[in-house]
Amino acid sequence: MKGWTNYHNHSYFCDGVEPLEEHVIAAIQQGVLHLGFSSHCPLHFTNPWSMSNQRIPEYVLEIDRLKEKYHHKITLYKSLEVDYFPDGNFHNQYWKQNTGLDYTIGSVHFIDQFEDGQAWEIDGTLSVFKKGLEEIFHNDIKAAILRYFEIFHHMLDQDCPDMIGHLDKIKMHNSKEPFFDENAEWYQKSIDQVLVHAAEKNVIIEVNTRGIYKKITAEPYPSISILQKIQALKIPICLNSDAHHPKEVIAEYGNVSRLLKELGFDHLMVFDNGVWLDRKFDHTGIFFD
């Protein structure tokens, strides 16, 4: 059997739209065999795009109901995209155990905080990005990015998820203004260090198509230069769209899977009965047999 997988999806439980069932129906129609829901996990402060703690029981029940209802057509998974904060809070392992998740995606959307205690969101608006860069890092983009990757190192050491979400999301605003050069030696060195650490931990790195179909980035997260290093290090990858709408479920999968084949990747990771397995793929899907 051949079909796609997507382990990174949002719905109206956080900042996506439409009920979970609409996402399931769209996924079945588009040849998806595995669909994992990964709402933004509740945070220790109010945040407009995160799921609230109160909605966790409803989220869990609804995924369980849909797992049962559609099990002949698609395998559904229960997950959260967990924000990592190095100074405490509930992390990947907490959510996995307390919510009965199948896996977690570990992402960094926040770096440190403003003087008033508000966390700096790095992939929100351009003005918030500039404000944090100026007020927290005195416009030293290198210091901000080194801190961003330091948080990944901390997460890998302290609370390793199953999968790293959009590893180089920090480049997002480069398309509007060139904040840094991705080819700079210091940047590539910091990438090398994170990848070596990820390889040691045997964590999966997702290839995320959202920047491309939202026309924010020309390349996926992570960029091609990073994907080449991932391939050389034989770090396992999977392909996700980070969909926030049912129509985005396999957006740009054809093009990005072609790119991955050109870069020498042979396998994508597939979650099966509680374990991650590598499976061959081409630009039309993953071979499940």
Contacts to Zn ion by CB under 5 A: 81, 107, 242
* Closer residue to Zn ion (CB): 42 or 266: 42
- Least distance between Zn ion and beta carbon 15 (Å): 9
- Least distance between Zn ion and beta carbon 107 (Å): 4
- Least distance between Zn ion and beta carbon 10 (Å): 6
Indicate the residue type of 164. Answer: I
Residues in contact with 180: Cβ distance below 8 Å, sequence separation at least 6, in sequence order:
141, 142, 145, 171, 174, 187
Could you tell me the two tokens for 258? 């072609």
Q: SS3 for 240?
A: strand
- Least distance between Zn ion and beta carbon 283 (Å): 24
First to last CA, the chain: 6
- Least distance between Zn ion and beta carbon 1 (Å): 27
* Closer residue to Zn ion (CB): 125 or 284: 125
* Closer residue to Zn ion (CB): 62 or 248: 248
CA distances (Å), 13 to each of 72, 153, 213, in order?
25, 29, 22
* Closer residue to Zn ion (CB): 6 or 190: 6
* Closer residue to Zn ion (CB): 52 or 228: 52
Q: How far apart are CA 198 and CA 104, in angstroms?
A: 15
